[in-house]
């Protein structure tokens, strides 16, 4: 039986922007090794696999190399496909059981809004912070560690955009990835960021929902605010609309389907 699969550009209002994600609609449970092979074949930052379960869906995410615990853009892409294909009514909330617990998504006008756990940075920098500084080649305003990622604040947006990381060093660190951020020089945005994750097979992620579960509580504390518009300063670029609500982060964006197909094996 052929299995439907899609490629969706998440956090994008037009094709070929934002972050491409694979979305595979399963009719029955699938073997993890098979899902990993499909993700390697898709060869985008993450491929999501979703299966109807109870009052919602089981959802898992794989990079071309490993399964990950949390992925924002592929969750947005999955919700987009469920709404677009009529699997979920426009006014229904999408409920996903994941390795990070229950995550939800809902339509909000032309956007889809995700409800994710906030993951503020830990109080102390990692012991190997000097290796991060060396790999990025710029001085930090702040450097800290979240549950999975290093958070690095640079002096300004020009510094963020000019980074050419030493990926071999970043790949060797005991972290999923490195988030680099600064205030935005563009008045439309509150802050910008880039995300490097060579340890999980993604040198630079175009737009990263999960990194904003760290960025939002960080900038909320720095700026004394709870609502933000952010830009991810990758080559493809993307825009995220963000709110901090207690220990949760609301992450909203657009998505566009660019490929529809079937897995035949």
Question: Any idea which residues carry the catalytic annotation?
Answer: 46
Q: What distance in Å separates the CA atoms of residue 164 and residue 108, rounded to the nearest whole number?
A: 37
Only one residue has tokens 């002096």, namely 155
**3-class DSSP state for residue 85?**
coil
249, 210 contact by CB (below 8 A): no
CA 61 to each of CA 41, 58, 116, 123: distance values in angstroms, whole numbers, following the listed order: 14, 11, 15, 29
Nearest to 72 by CA among 265, 250, 259: 250
Based on DSSP, count helices (H) and strands (E) in the chain, helices before strands: 6, 17
């Amino acid at each position: 039986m052929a299995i439907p699969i899609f490629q969706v550009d998440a956090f994008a209002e037009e094709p070929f922007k934002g972050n491409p994600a694979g979305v595979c609609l399963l009719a029955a449970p699938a073997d993890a090794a098979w899902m990993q092979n499909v993700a390697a074949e898709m060869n985008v930052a993450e491929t999501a696999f979703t299966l109807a379960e109870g009052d919602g869906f089981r959802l898992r995410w794989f990079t071309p190399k490993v399964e990950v615990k949390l992925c924002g853009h592929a969750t947005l892409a999955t919700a987009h496909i469920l709404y677009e294909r009529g699997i979920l009514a426009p006014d229904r909330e999408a409920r996903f059981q994941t390795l990070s617990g229950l995550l939800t998504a809902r339509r909000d006008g032309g956007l889809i809004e995700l409800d994710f756990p906030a993951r503020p940075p830990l109080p102390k920098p990692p012991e190997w912070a000097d290796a991060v500084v060396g790999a990025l080649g710029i001085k930090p305003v702040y450097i800290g560690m979240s549950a999975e990622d290093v958070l690095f604040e640079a002096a300004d947006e020009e510094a963020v955009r000019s980074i050419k990381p030493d990926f071999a060093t970043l790949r060797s660190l005991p972290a999923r990835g490195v988030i680099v951020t600064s205030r935005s020089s563009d008045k439309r945005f509150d802050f910008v960021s880039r995300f490097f994750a060579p340890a999980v097979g993604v040198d630079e992620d175009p737009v990263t929902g999960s990194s904003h579960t760290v960025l939002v509580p960080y900038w909320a504390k720095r700026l004394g605010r709870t609502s933000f518009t952010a830009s991810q300063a990758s080559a493809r670029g993307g825009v995220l609309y963000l709110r901090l609500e207690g220990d949760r982060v609301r992450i909203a964006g657009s998505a566009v389907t660019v490929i529809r197909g079937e897995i035949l094996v």
